[in-house]
Amino acid sequence: RLHLVTWNVGTASPPPDVTSLLQLDSLGPAMDMYVIGLQEVNSRITNFLSDLAFDDPWSIFFMTVLSPLGYIKLSSVRMQGLLLLIFVKHIHLPFIRDIHTHYTRTGLYGYWGNKGGVTVRMSLYGHTICFMNCHLPAHMENTEQRLDDFEKILEMQFEGENIPSTLDHDVLFCFGDLNFRIADYGIHFVRESINNKRYNLLWDKDQLNMAKKKEAFLQEFIEGPLQFKPTYKFDLYSDVYDTSEKKRKPAWTDRILWRVKNLCQHASKEGEFSEEEQTISVTLNNYISHMSYGISDHKPVTGTFGLELKPLLTDPLVTLNPEGEWSAAHDVIISYSAVPEFPSSAWDWIGLFKVVAFRHVNDCVTYTWVEDDEISSNKDSKQVYMSAAEIPDMGGEYLLCYYSNNLRSIVGISQPFQIQPNRALIEKDRTQEENSWMQKPDNLEPHNEF
């Protein structure tokens, strides 16, 4: 289950609550992956430079919301105001590999990153998946420029790298503030159609729908029905369309498209397609806007998808387990085994993560080098140790992750387990506190001097 968000946030700060945006109040099963594409994240030069050194406020915000629910930030990429974040459930980490990011500038003829696209691609259970967040040129008259930039971004991602092109991935999601407008109709007809919820009257004049009929590169992309109000342009903190002097005509600027490669290949071979060949399918469960969010002049749009995969990978590259009872009273042992083809490195490490604070791979409490700290090895498994001094005294629920330097990703993860509190140290601290309190003088009555 994949939940995808696109939102032009108009340089605003995160809202107080995103429960409905992320469908955290849904009665259905939890999502496996969140893909969040933002446009117009505050990109003033001071903000951008500080965000390069540290996580930006939006990344921190979504990590704070999702990490207690068992999601970690798998990857992110930023280009000025464009930000793409991907969060996944812990259980899927060992089956996500070959993660790469890229960006393409199209603003000021390719010299400025206020417009363009940012991309994250990966192998998910052996299938190649690509996510592309775009911000295309604005204004009614720039349709051709939007289409040219869209095609350019598709072609330039990962160009010259030993990575499949975007269109060669099994599944490609393209989304963002694509800025397509409603042509021909006047503002009064558009608004009247919206007020009467007769959105279908506007579909034929939507520039993206019109382009899909004549542009070959768009014809293999699928989009859900536009059964929600156009998401641009609103007065801030309201559901009222633009009342400024410009009175922008409403438009479905914020869109989610997807493309399944094997469906495209078989579409031209009618009658030859067999069910066995279909190893991955994408089902749109929900395509909606969220009118309650008013921090910018765009409303966010979400798509909830079911990805049905025939797993091409069924075993993690590394299996690891904590040995015996863990506490800070003594050194502890980790045993692990790797598949024969695993490309291990001297720079591989195993990290200890607190379950409720596991936001991304940098959040390990401590780690051990798999070669430097090895204590035993045979053809079936190896053992490494962690020093007692590194184990948290207070205990709690933790898990272990094996990080591969060559693959730049977590390739093995243990089941959550308990670390016992170090009762001797806790008791010692409590005794010291009591002794310190008992040694305080009794004559602590306040007094005044005149």
d(CA 169, CA 265): 12
Residue 168 has pLDDT above 80, yes or no: yes
What pLDDT does 159 receive? 74
Q: Helices then strands (H, E): number in the chain?
A: 8, 21
pLDDT (mean) for 299-328: 94
How many C-beta neighbours within 10 Å does residue 1 have? 17
What pLDDT, on a 0 to 100 scale, did the predictor assign at position 163?
86
pLDDT of 42 reads: 87
pLDDT band at 276 (very low <50, low <70, confident <90, very high): very low
3-state secondary structure of 270: coil
Q: How far apart are CA 91 and CA 41, in angstroms?
A: 30
Phi, psi (rounded to 5 degrees) for 175: -155, 170
Question: Does 446 have pLDDT greater than 50?
Answer: no
pLDDT at residue 235 tops 70? yes
Tell me the H-state helices in 224-334. Answer: 261-267
Average pLDDT over residues 10-29: 93
- The residue-averaged pLDDT of 340-354 equals 94
Enter the CATH code of domain 2-263+277-309: 3.60.10.10
Q: Which residues pair with 298 in a beta bridge?
A: 232
φ/ψ of residue 5, rounded to 5: -120, 135
* CA distance linking residue 29 with residue 287, whole number of Å: 17
Residue 86's beta-bridge partner residues?
Answer: 35, 75
Distance CA 295, CA 301 (A): 14
Mean pLDDT of the chain: 88
Whether 444 shows a pLDDT value over 70: the answer reads no
H helix runs in 157-238, sequence order: 187-195, 200-203, 207-212
Residue type, 263: L
pLDDT at 134 over 50: yes
Residue keyed to tokens 């066995």: 276
Domain ranges of the chain: 2-263+277-309, 318-428
39-97: per-residue pLDDT in tens?
999 866 545 444 444 578 999 999 999 999 999 999 999 998 999 999 999 999 999 99
Higher local confidence (pLDDT), 269 or 259? 259
Residue 445 has pLDDT above 50, yes or no: no
> Which residues, 6 or more positions from 372, have their beta carbon under 8 angstroms from its beta carbon?
346
Tell me: pLDDT of 20 over 90: yes
Tell which wins on pLDDT, 292 or 49. Answer: 292
Length of the chain: 450
Question: What is the SS3 assignment for 411?
Answer: strand
Contact between 399 and 358 (Cβ < 8 Å) = yes
Q: What is the per-residue pLDDT for 196?
A: 97
pLDDT band at residue 427 under the 50/70/90 scheme = low
Mean per-residue pLDDT, 248-272: 78
Common-topology check for domains 2-263+277-309 and 318-428:
no
Q: What average pLDDT does this structure show over 131-136?
A: 97
Architecture per CATH, domain 318-428, reads as Sandwich (2.60)
AA letter at 24: L
> What is the per-residue pLDDT for 268?
47
Comparing 125 with 444, the larger pLDDT belongs to: 125
- Is residue 417 scored above 70 in pLDDT? yes
Ordered DSSP codes for 9-38: -TTPPPPS--TTTTTTT-SSPPPSEEEEEE
Q: Which residues pair with 322 in a beta bridge?
A: 334
Within a 10 A sphere around the Cβ of 403, how many other Cβ atoms? 21
pLDDT at 269: 47
Beta strands in 342-421 (DSSP E): 349-354, 366-369, 374-377, 382-386, 396-404, 409-413, 417-420
User: Looking at residue 323, what is its pLDDT?
Assistant: 95
- Gap between the Cα atoms of 326 and 246, Å rounded: 65
